[in-house]
Amino acid sequence: MTRALQAAGPRIAVSSTRTLASIGIAVALAVVFIQACVIVQARPQDLVTGVHGMADIINRSLPPDFSQFAPSLMPALETVDLAIFGTVFGVILAFPLAILAAHNTAPSRPLYIGARTLIGVCRAVPDLVWALLFVTAVGLGPFPGALALAVHSVGMLGRLFAEVIEDMDMGPVEALSLTGASRMQVFTHAVIPGVLPSLLGISLFRFDENLRSSLVLGFVGAGGIGFYLLTAMNLFQYQTVSFLLVLTFVLVVGAERLSAFLRSRVS
């Protein structure tokens, strides 16, 4: 009995330590959440008392003005094309950067650091800020929005692509290297086939994100449905606003379904 108690003593101590650590983590998370509520000045009672204002706007938004279907076709096409442009150019620019930013494929340490830095800058600056910068450079319209999505996509895709490359199976790469294959042969016959399905899936996910982002970029004059939506809101045309929201929902769901279908084909 004494030996059993002595053997159980360390286990009980470890269990008590883990329990105390769990309680400490829970308390710390609660404190972080409470301070967040204080900083954002959360007032749920204001939401309850102001719900009638939201109900009034919803009431004035119904029914949606479907007569705006024809005028909204071009903004809808601009929105989709913004996402396509930003995704395609983001992939084209992000892939070579990812090769340099992955520690197992980077030719040298300076190139690795430079690629990581460039990817970090593109990702750290929000696409809305990029859009504002490009609007001042090239003027209003869809082009600055497309450029903003492309640059921000370089940052997001570059990081994800680099992580996929770093986690890939290095067996085929090492096997080709031992046979005397050149760096380009190793790249085309081992690296690309090993990561291509994952890169395609990530690119399709990014297209979904770019489609949503293109709606917001229209608020700063970058074209698409977002600009049309902002104009309708400023003119208090709430039925037009509700129709544009319905159209946006259709575009987003359609893009998600298409993306899921294509991912199932490449996975």
What are the tens digits of pLDDT across the range 191-237?
666 677 777 888 888 888 888 888 878 777 777 788 888 888 888 88
pLDDT given at position 180: 66
pLDDT given at position 182: 63
pTM above 0.85, yes or no: no
pLDDT tens readout for residues 153-162: 998 888 888 8
Q: b/e per residue, 2-41, with b = 16+ CB within 10 A?
A: eeeeeeeeeeeeeeeeeeeeeeeeeeeeeeeeeeeeeeee
User: What are the chain's domains?
Assistant: 77-266 (1.10.3720.10)
Q: How far apart are CA 157 and CA 93, in angstroms?
A: 9
pLDDT given at position 15: 64
Q: What angle do CA 106, 111, 116 make, to 5 degrees?
A: 90
Q: Which distant-in-sequence residues (6+ apart) come within 8 Å of 152 by Cβ?
A: 86, 90, 122, 123, 125, 126, 127, 130, 213
pLDDT tens readout for residues 175-186: 766 676 666 666
Q: How far apart are CA 207 and CA 51, in angstroms?
A: 35
Q: How far apart are CA 86 and CA 130, in angstroms?
A: 12
Tell me which H or E stretch contains 87: helix 73-101
Is the pLDDT assigned to residue 143 strictly greater than 50? yes
Q: How far apart are CA 24 and CA 142, in angstroms?
A: 51
Is the pLDDT assigned to residue 1 strictly greater than 60? no
pLDDT grade, residue 169 (50/70/90)?
low
pLDDT tens readout for residues 224-235: 788 888 888 888
